[in-house]
Each structure stands twice: as structure tokens, then as C-alpha cells.
Homo-oligomer: A and B are copies of this chain.
């Protein structure tokens, strides 16, 4: 399974390679929110430990009830999965697009999911000269010969972001043209929830919105995500779904997290404040060009002779893991990505980067 090498977050592999203990590594390579450990998730997992001896509810009945209340969408419009990744693959299997549009650069698993089902890829390259942003009309023009479009909003790793109004223009066209639009909102919890298209997705036939507990809620290791779409599409995907992919502890944690909404706003503010701070600090390092962030990570271009793989190696030796972005289609060995962590850790990153550059 080569795909793992295409991702951040493998701090165990990095630890092995550099002779460190995994706990010594400060991981900026995975976009997981370090504030989430104040949410009481461990307590809930501990309280539900006896559940490990029972099959998980394959329908995720209680979890879906909670998601439904949280989002204000119908239960029949929701399908839970082993991270949003399961839903991406499920969508590809259910829809079998012969040709699908993906951004370059973007999250790698869309490409892999499409190819695994025999689909062909059409890349829409985001231009660095335009700060990796792209006009929604340009996307619409590019959808003419595809059966599906995968969009990550905010986009990983560029951080570029479409407002709801822009996306609704695209949805109008994809619905008319019967093109499936898979809109990955895995990072949207860091933005204002009013920008989400989950409510609109209920009334559509071709739009699937993906949400994740991996980033904002930091449940990366437990695996939880879900999809929201029209009833027809959700039923179609459920037909292909394996029964027990969402384990019992992930279900319990998900229910708990969405019941305690009041913490979410507070944490969002803390992350966004620290994101601004880190962006400001990175901007002051000569030889680095950070792109303005719209989520909890920052894409950075190296403007010196140094390559991203060399920089990754230099920092790893000091116990700091960044995401070398050279293997993203559309980027090269001058790009890396860092997640936003807490102040003290961000200062360690800044210091290490200053010394390495």
C-alpha cells in the first residue's frame, strides 16, 4: 500500500527512520487540531471501553441521529464511515465516473479512489502565480467532459477557499449536467459553519458533501467521517458499504462531540488566532513564502536553494516533522506544509526553520 508515503502524519515511520521515540516527535505534518484534547474525548472512550466486545451498530443509528440534529439535515441524508476517506472510495465505487476532475495540487486519495474504480483523471492545475486560487467559472468550463468533480474546500494543501455563493453556482451547473460533485468539507470546521453546503446537499441528486472528525476533532486514530447528500445518492452508496467499518468507540466519541457544541466555537477561535500568528511569523523568515491559510495548515514555498526533502530531513533530525509537498501533483520540491500547533510548539518550529533556511 504505497499510498501511505503520499501523506503526512506517519510520525511512527519518521521516528524509526531517525532513531527517535514517536513521542519525541513534534508532528506538523498531519493537520490534526491539538486543541481537541481538551474536549474530553478520552473520558468518553474510557467510559465506553466494554463496547469493544460487541459488534458496532452497522447503521450508526445514534450517531446519525446526533449528526442530523447538529447539522439540521435528515437522517436519511447521512452515511457514516471510517473517516471521510471511506466515503470517497464508496462514492467512486457507487458512481463509477469514467472521467473525473480533480485539482492539482489536492488531497491524494481522490485520485487513488477514482483510479481504483477504473476511472480516468482530468487535472485542473491551480497556478502558483495566482496564489493557487481559481475562478469558479473556470471550473465550470472544465467540467464539460467529466462525470464527477472532487473539490476539497478549504483545499489541502493550498488552503484556497470558495465561498458558499460561488459553490452554489457550480452546484447549479453540475446538477443540470448530471455531474457528481464530491465536496470535501473536512477542513470546514475551522471556518464559519454557515459556509457549509450540507443543508443544500439534501435537496440535490448529484452533490455529496464529506465531513470528517479527523481534523478539527483530532479523531485521526479512531476513524470517523460522514457524507451528506440526496436520499437517492446516500442509498446508492449504502448499497456498496461494508457493514461494520465504524468502530464502537468512534461512534461513542462522535455522539459526544456533537452534543457539546459550545466548545467548538471557542476552539475554532483559538486555532484561527494561532494560525494568524504562525502565518505572521513565517512571513518574516527570509527565504520562505507562506500562502495565506484558510484552515489549520499553511503551505510554504522555499525561495532558497534548499529542497523540501532536505528541509524535511534537517528538521526531522531535530524531532520536528513537516510535510514535504514534492509528491503533490502540481507542486515541486520547493513546497512544504505545516499544521498549526500551540504557541510554544509553533515557536520551536519557527526557530528550527530560521536555523535550517
Contacts and interface: CB of A to CB of B under 8 A. Distances in A.
A348 interface: no
| Copies of the polypeptide in the assembly | 2
B247 A221 contact: yes
Chain A residues touching B, majority SS = helix
A85 to B, nearest CB: 6
A103 B346 CA distance: 59
A221 B58 CA distance: 10
A218 B222 CA distance: 18
B57 A52 contact: no
B249 A221 contact: yes
Contacts of A219: 52-53
Interface string A38-63: 00011001100111111111110110
Contacts of A109: 242-243
B247 A222 contact: yes
Give the contact-size bracket for chain A: 35 or more
A136 interface: no
A85 B82 CA distance: 14
Contacts of A41: 52
A89 interface: yes
A53 B221 CA distance: 6
B238 A1 contact: yes
Contacts of A42: 49-50, 52
Given A218-B53, A219-B52, A249-B222, A242 B61 contact: no
Given A1-B238, A45-B49, A238-B1, A58 B10 contact: yes
Nearest to A51: B221
Contacts of A244: 82-83, 85, 220, 223
A260 to B, nearest CB: 17
Nearest to A48: B221
A129 interface: no
A247 to B, nearest CB: 5
A252 B222 CA distance: 12
A1 B58 contact: yes
Given A61-B13, A242-B89, A53 B1 contact: no
Contacts of A242: 82, 85-86, 89, 109
A4 interface: yes
Given A12-B61, A57-B10, A57-B13, A243 B52 contact: no
A283 B116 CA distance: 51
Contact of A30 (B34, B36, B55, B241): B55
Contacts of A1: 58-59, 238-239, 241, 243
Given A3-B58, A54-B32, A61-B13, A245 B49 contact: no
10 contacts: A3-B58, A4-B57, A4-B59, A7-B55, A42-B50, A55-B221, A82-B242, A86-B242, A222-B249, A247-B249
Please name the 5 residue pairs, one residue from A and one from B, whose CB atoms are nearest each other, closest first: A221-B248, A9-B55, A4-B58, A52-B221, A1-B238
Interface of A: 1, 3-4, 7, 9-13, 27, 30, 32, 34, 36-37, 41-42, 45-46, 49-59, 61-62, 82-83, 85-86, 89, 93, 109, 116, 214, 218-223, 238-245, 247-250, 253
